[in-house]
């Protein structure tokens, strides 16, 4: 039996003006942006629709902006009646998946990721941490490299295992620099420094995890109505208590995206619908398994195209 997964993008997919046209045409879509403004007591919607880009790119703005946009697009898309068998999100996108699965209310999700962004920004002094994408080297030799560098006193670890041949490392600035050089010696084709504000998904994020727990403890979390494939384990989870623990671990643990996609495929998923701005996850999924179908929904036109395509397949 054919199964569908909804997947939600993380930081890097944001763009000024995302979902603006959709929100202007559909009041029910605009309502999400209004709710986000109210929950955060700020003009997030104006920042999303008008920019400036530099401000939207700040982690504590990007995270609620992407969650709001993706959930607004999801709500519009779901009027078609198309439902998911599984949901998952890349890093920040996991919170969007949790809102989609009814674990967190929309307003609490927006609040949680705003605080998460603030804690991530402040966990490590600016300039002391960094991230880099390592292309063309498998995880096992890269694990050896990061362990060597960390044991030498410069913490660095695998942060995002995105797809075959694309792994992001994260940690101290010196650690990432040394690991990048060693990765090239070990056979990596390229090492690309990332323009991020901190060493996300590394051990240096542990101070942020303690602060995030205090925020999540104050929010109501329900069991998931749709299984959520967790970044930390690449396994489906549904119980609220398990989900909270995994969200805390997620801050300082690698995002097992390749493993998560493979797990969903093993469970029967053959259609992945990326909901939110951009097509980053669709591209990664195609590199993981060319045989599955991927779709991207970011506006009214793409939503209708995907609805039509899926309906044709069901005939």
Q: In this predicted structure, what is the pLDDT of residue 315?
A: 60
Burial class, 278, CB count within 10 angstroms (exposed 0-12 / middle 13-18 / buried 19+) = middle
Q: Tell me, what DSSP letter sits at residue 103? A: S
CATH topology identical between 3-123+204-314 and 129-196: no
Which of these is catalytic: 13, 90, 201, 202? 201
Q: In this predicted structure, what is the pLDDT of residue 252?
A: 97
CATH topology assigned to domain 3-123+204-314: Malonyl-Coenzyme A Acyl Carrier Protein; domain 2 (3.40.366)
Asked if 226 and 5 touch (Cβ cutoff 8 Å), the reply is no
**315, two tokens:** 């005939």
Tell me, yes or no, if 172 is annotated catalytic: no
Spatial separation of the C-alpha atoms in residues 3 and 267, rounded to whole Å: 8
CA atoms within 13 A on the CB side of 58: 16
Cβ partners under 8 Å of residue 93, min gap 6: 7, 8, 9, 10, 66, 70, 276, 281
Residues of the chain with pLDDT under 50: none
- Largest pairwise CA distance in the chain: 60
Tell me, yes or no, if 201 is annotated catalytic: yes
Q: In this predicted structure, what is the pLDDT of residue 195?
A: 85
Q: In this predicted structure, what is the pLDDT of residue 312?
A: 85
String of DSSP letters for 144-166? HHHHHHHHTT--EEEEEEEETTE
Q: Phi first, then psi: what are they for 210, rounded to 5°?
A: -65, -40
**72, two tokens:** 């607004």
**125, two tokens:** 């002094």
Which of these is catalytic: 13, 45, 70, 91? 91
Q: In this predicted structure, what is the pLDDT of residue 196?
A: 84
Q: In this predicted structure, what is the pLDDT of residue 84?
A: 97
CATH of 129-196, one of 3.30.70.580, 3.30.70.250, 3.90.1150.10, 1.10.10.1590: 3.30.70.250
Rounded to 5 degrees, what angle do the CA atoms 257, 121, 156 make? Answer: 55
String of DSSP letters for 120-149? HHHHS-TTSEEEEEEES--HHHHHHHHHHH
Q: In this predicted structure, what is the pLDDT of residue 242?
A: 96
Q: Where are the domains of the chain?
A: 3-123+204-314, 129-196
């Amino acid at each position: 039996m054919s199964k569908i997964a909804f997947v939600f993008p993380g930081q890097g997919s944001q763009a000024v003006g995302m979902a603006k046209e959709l929100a202007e045409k559909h009041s029910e879509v605009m309502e999400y942006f209004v709710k986000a403004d109210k929950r955060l007591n700020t003009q997030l919607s104006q920042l999303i629709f008008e920019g400036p880009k530099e401000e939207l790119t700040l982690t504590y703005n990007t995270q609620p902006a992407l969650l709001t946009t993706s959930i607004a697009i999801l709500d519009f898309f779901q009027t078609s009646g198309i439902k998911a068998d599984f949901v998952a999100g890349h890093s920040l996108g996991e919170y969007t998946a949790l809102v989609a699965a009814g674990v967190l209310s929309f307003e609490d999700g927006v609040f949680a990721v705003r605080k998460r962004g603030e804690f991530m920004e402040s966990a490590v002094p600016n300039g002391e941490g960094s991230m880099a994408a390592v292309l063309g080297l498998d995880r096992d030799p890269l694990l050896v490299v990061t362990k060597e560098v960390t044991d030498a006193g410069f913490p660095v670890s695998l942060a995002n295992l995105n797809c075959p041949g694309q792994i992001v490392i994260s940690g101290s600035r010196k650690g990432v620099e040394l690991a990048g050089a060693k990765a090239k010696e070990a056979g990596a084709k390229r090492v690309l420094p990332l323009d991020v504000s901190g060493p996300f998904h590394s051990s240096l994020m542990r101070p942020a995890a303690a602060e995030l727990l205090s925020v999540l403890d104050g929010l109501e979390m329900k069991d998931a109505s749709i299984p959520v494939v967790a970044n930390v384990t690449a396994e489906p989870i549904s119980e609220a208590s398990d989900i909270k623990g995994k969200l805390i671990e997620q801050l300082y643990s690698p995002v097992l995206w390749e493993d998560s996609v493979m797990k969903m495929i093993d469970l029967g998923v053959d259609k992945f619908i990326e909901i939110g701005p951009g097509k980053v996850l669709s591209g990664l999924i195609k590199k993981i398994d060319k045989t599955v179908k991927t779709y991207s929904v970011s506006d009214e036109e793409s939503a209708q195209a995907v609805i039509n395509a899926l309906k044709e397949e069901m005939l």
